[in-house]
Structure 1
């Protein structure tokens, strides 16, 4: 089958790699003039690695990742609240640098099948083909188009003009430090307080990925002007681990983005066009499933296309992925709302509830991630 993939991010390259690997004629179109990535660390859940096991890329990702056993949630005064046990089956959860993951995925797509400086202008469909028109004048016809063009997807906007990303109410800073700070490996830390959250996540070779989230107005100029000294002052009263990480952070290399998600869509399919990743179901990062769900989309789509006729495959993909990712979006949104509260009373109630809840019970709340059907 002749397939176009719009967007060369994690979801797009995973889909392209898997479809190439299973014998399809795939072309990837990226609007930027480079595949360079701007990012820090991310998590790949055991649900994702399990889904990838039948394909070659799972092993490479595992080799470059660092194992993550649990996430400890603590208050900003370093009071232990609860822990989320990650390894709930035989498959590991890992953390990996976004750039490293992207480099791995690139190796599964022939370089001459990736077209840069190709920004999609519009598309037109017949019953069994899709014609793409790019801003540079190129026109091509395909049997199937996989839209992996991100949260601000032009393809989604064409299909669902009212599906606009919704601001979550908080902004996020991220970075990676390379110093050995004597922080326990395989355990991620999250500190929740009145002023926001601060997370510390081990990566491979003693690197650490950190993030912090603060309630803010959308495009808040105050936080857009923040640099390392501002973050150090802002989190000065947080535990020593937080201060050590910020001290080790270089002046450059700090990323800042407002957080958004999408209201769950009723369908990811329009004729022979299929949405995957953030284009379909952008979610806040509170469950660490953004990249993972994009990869699951790609695996599910590939499995179904190789096992069914195209109409049946797309219909099944739509049913499986809209239902499952809706749960992820809503659960992540709920976690963010609770974690980001600045109300003293609500924080007290939340912390007491977390303390009373067993770690096993907390882990059960995300057990549904392991049950996603992929075909």
Structure 2
């Protein structure tokens, strides 16, 4: 039951995952939508997003879940290890997580849109430039201008004292491939390293380390993890320095609301979070689909109010939860105590598993 008289047009700033997903829902409902993207072209590189149940449901509501499954791989289990290779915890995930690259996910969503809907090389408009009954969706990410235009420079995301390196390498032979402990994370002192599979048979990796903003380089990646366990060193040996992504991490201060007038923020524009829960892309998808469906079903003012009630508290909880996991994973002090506790938890889980199996 579309309300074209209530929402005459939607302008979306940002052609990332959230902006494209919102555009798909709105376009299918017959609402005129334009997506402005300041980059000159879609991304051709990018590592893997992990999409759990709610994000998969959002993709299903976009009508693209089956296509995404063809360019993704399911991760059903993972391990947590120490820098020396000790396995603290191995566990089956509560639900399979789809691992898909940013370019593949965005390509599938963009294929659902008519020509001319997405405009590259064009910065988004500000809320003050909205005409008539139009609505603005700010989906322009951590560094986009919409957030500060709506709520001021004091709400800009802040550096969290961490830098990350990401990339892709060819797979390799290792006992941990056979026992399932290759995929997951390794926690050391003030740093972590993760390895996940890709649908094309290669491996995705990410390293994070405590560091002041702007103080690290690509080369620091190779010295930071040089004495970690064999699998980490094997990954490092296959890295192409020119293909690595390296950037600092940011986190949003909490907003009192995600909407202002006839504008709303989704995804990183609303709640930039650290990647330690692996929920950023998934939460962006759920934000976007929720808001778009509300704009289809309700007059604009009511839709925006409902969106804020439905998504803001949850989004801010995810920011806090991800920061808490990061503080534990990247702890610089007390790591022997942390690792001992993780080992006890892992031992208890394995004992329970053996007992259950008789």
Provide the TM-score with structure 2 as the length reference.
0.88
Extract unaligned runs of 5+ from structure 1.
132-140, 362-375
Aligned mate of 1:111, from 115, 135, 140: 115
Instruction: Give the Cα–Cα distance (whole angstroms) in 1 for the partners of residues 31 and 97 of structure 2.
Output: 30
**Residues 1:58 and 2:29 aligned together:** no
Bigger Cα displacement from structure 2, 71-80 vs 285-294: 71-80
Paired position in structure 1 for 2:340 = 352
Cα displacement string for residues 141-173 of structure 1 (whole angstroms, at most 9, x for unaligned residues): 652111101112311101211102111111000
Change (3 A) 1:157 1:58: same
Paired position in structure 1 for 2:356 = none
Cα displacement string for residues 88-118 of structure 1 (whole angstroms, at most 9, x for unaligned residues): 3xxx311111111121121122231112222
Instruction: Give the Cα–Cα distance (whole angstroms) in 1 for the partners of residues 347 and 18 of structure 2.
Output: 32
Bigger Cα displacement from structure 2, 155-164 vs 77-86: 77-86
Q: How does 1:81-92 map to 2 (within 5 A)?
A: 81-83=88-90, 85-88=92-95, 92=96
Q: How does 1:164-203 map to 2 (within 5 A)?
A: 164-181=156-173, 183=177, 188-203=183-198
CA shift for structure 1 position 312: 1.7
Cα displacement string for residues 37-83 of structure 1 (whole angstroms, at most 9, x for unaligned residues): 44212211122102332331111112211001123111101112224
**Equivalent residue of 1:72, what SS?**
strand
Q: How does 1:355-374 map to 2 (within 5 A)?
A: 355-357=343-345
Comparing both chains, which one has the higher relative contact order based on Cα–Cα distances under 8 Å and sequence gaps of 6 or more? 2
Change (3 A) 1:299 1:358: farther
| RMSD after superposition | 2.2
- Check the 8 A contact 1:2/1:24 in 2, yes or no: yes
Paired position in structure 2 for 1:342 = 332
- Check the 8 A contact 2:14/2:124 in 1, yes or no: no
- Check the 8 A contact 1:83/1:359 in 2, yes or no: no
Q: How does 1:16-95 map to 2 (within 5 A)?
A: 16-83=23-90, 85-88=92-95, 92-95=96-99
- Check the 8 A contact 2:190/2:329 in 1, yes or no: no
Paired position in structure 1 for 2:208 = 213
Instruction: Give the Cα–Cα distance (whole angstroms) in 2 for the partners of residues 356 and 310 of structure 1.
Output: 52
**Residues 1:10 and 2:2 aligned together:** no
Change (3 A) 1:123 1:69: same
**Equivalent residue of 2:196, what SS?**
strand
Cα displacement string for residues 208-235 of structure 1 (whole angstroms, at most 9, x for unaligned residues): 1000011111111xx22x33xx533432
CA shift for structure 1 position 349: 2.0
Cα displacement string for residues 274-311 of structure 1 (whole angstroms, at most 9, x for unaligned residues): 11111101100001111111100111112222222222
Bigger Cα displacement from structure 2, 208-217 vs 14-23: 14-23
Provide the TM-score with structure 1 as the length reference.
0.84
CA shift for structure 1 position 3: 0.9
